[in-house]
Amino acid sequence: VIIIPVGITSQMDKKMKQEIITKIEEIMKTLENTRIRVDTDLRDNYSPGWKFNHWELKRCSD
């Protein structure tokens, strides 16, 4: 599973962004505890669409 956050903008305050990242980390831990391989793409220099395409090309969507 690849978690790609959407809706994070440059205008968003740091507190809200950190809350989203914290929630993502909680979800990751839950999935890892059930032995599901999980990663997240938190790069902020790429759009969500670019990230979806990137991970689909890496065949992570199967």
**Percent of the chain residues past pLDDT 90, beyond the cut:** 79
Asked if residue 46 is part of any domain, the answer here is yes
Specify whether the backbone of 6 is left (phi greater than 0), alpha (psi in -120 to 50) or beta.
Answer: beta
Per-residue pLDDT reduced to its tens digit, 36-52: 999 999 998 899 999 99
- B/e letters for 5-31, b = 16+ CB within 10 Å, e = fewer, are beeeeeeeeeeebeeeeeebeeebeee
Asked if residue 21 is part of any domain, the answer here is no
The pTM for the full model equals 0.81
Asked if residue 52 is part of any domain, the answer here is yes
pLDDT at position 60 over 70: no
Q: Which domain holds residue 41?
A: 1-6+36-62
Are 54 and 46 spatial neighbours (Cβ–Cβ below 8 Å)? Answer: yes
Asked if residue 54 is part of any domain, the answer here is yes
Asked if residue 20 is part of any domain, the answer here is no
Q: How many domains does the chain have?
A: 1
Asked if residue 53 is part of any domain, the answer here is yes
Asked if residue 48 is part of any domain, the answer here is yes
Asked if residue 23 is part of any domain, the answer here is no
